[in-house]
Structure formats: structure tokens, C-alpha cells
Amino acid sequence: MRIARLPSLIFGASLVFALSLATVHATARVEGDSEYSKAQTYSGALRYLRVDMGYEVVEKDPDAGYLIFRYELPGQNKATATGTVEVVESDGHVRLFVQIPKMPEYHERVLRDGLVKKLHEDYGAPAHKVPPAPEKKPEDAGAD
């Protein structure tokens, strides 16, 4: 009886494995750092998507720092997938998040790298941030 159940166990394990591979794609996103301000990065991303790449931007929010666009699928006549670009500022650093869930990760990397290159072309070398000077401790007033 145990031998009769083996094919169904193999099929079940194969199905679970295949589904796990399919779900990995949907949650992937590519991150990157921007050496420019949040406003510069967002504005550059909008121009890059609309003008340079010719993608339709279907939703945008500069305050929240996100863009939703239609990514044209290569080799497929007028077929598109939804993609997002998020620009997040935290602790003085600006981060980029690019996501195109229906596509392999390299599509997101190519888009991110193109955007970073566009920022350098548009804004030149980034201004280097100087860390704040450490605060001086007040000297003991009571010591004589």
C-alpha cells in the first residue's frame, strides 16, 4: 500500500515546490540608494519613466514618493504589466524601490540602474553631505 501512495506524494511535493517558485516572483523588488534629495529623485524618476522610457504613469504622489506605471513587456505587442517606483527618505538617506511583479528581477535592476544614470546626467555630481559637528560639552562651571 505504501508504494501506491508514492506517486501522489511526489505529485504533491512537486506542486508545492512549483507554487513556491511562482510566489517568489510576486514579492521581489530591487532597492537602490540615491545620492540626491527626495524631490530630485522623485522628479528624475517621473521624467525617466514618462519621457525617456515612454511609459504611461497611471498614478503618482510626490508627497508619498511613489509612481505607478505601465511597463511594456518586451516582445509582446502592446502588452503591459504594472510597475512601481518608490522614493523613501529616512535618516537623511534616500532609497529607491523598483518593483515589476510579473517580470524577472533583472528588469527591475535595469530600470533602477537607468534611473540612477539619469539622475547623474541631469543633476551632475551629488553634493557631499557633511556630517554635523559633534556638540561640545559645557565645561564644569563649579570647578575652581
Total domain count, the chain: 1
Structural domain that includes position 104: 28-123
> Which whole-number Å values give the CA distances from 82 to 68, 98, 108, in the listed order?
7, 11, 12
Taking 50 as the threshold, does the pLDDT of residue 110 lie above it? yes
- 12 is a domain residue: no
- 5 is a domain residue: no
pLDDT interval class at 142 (50, 70, 90)? low
Question: pTM of whole model > 0.85?
Answer: no
CATH code at position 45 = 3.30.310.80
- 72 is a domain residue: yes
- 118 is a domain residue: yes
- 90 is a domain residue: yes
Q: What is the pLDDT of residue 119?
A: 95
Interval 48-72 mean pLDDT = 95
Taking 70 as the threshold, does the pLDDT of residue 17 lie above it? no
Pairing of strands 93-99, 30-34: antiparallel
Grid cell digits, residue 81:
504589466
> Which whole-number Å values give the CA distances from 75 to 18, 78, 135, in the listed order?
25, 9, 59
pLDDT tens per residue, range 20-39: 444 444 457 899 999 999 99
What mean pLDDT, rounded, does the chain reach?
81
**How many CA within 13 A on the CB side of residue 138?**
4
Taking 90 as the threshold, does the pLDDT of residue 19 lie above it? no
Strand partners, 32: 96
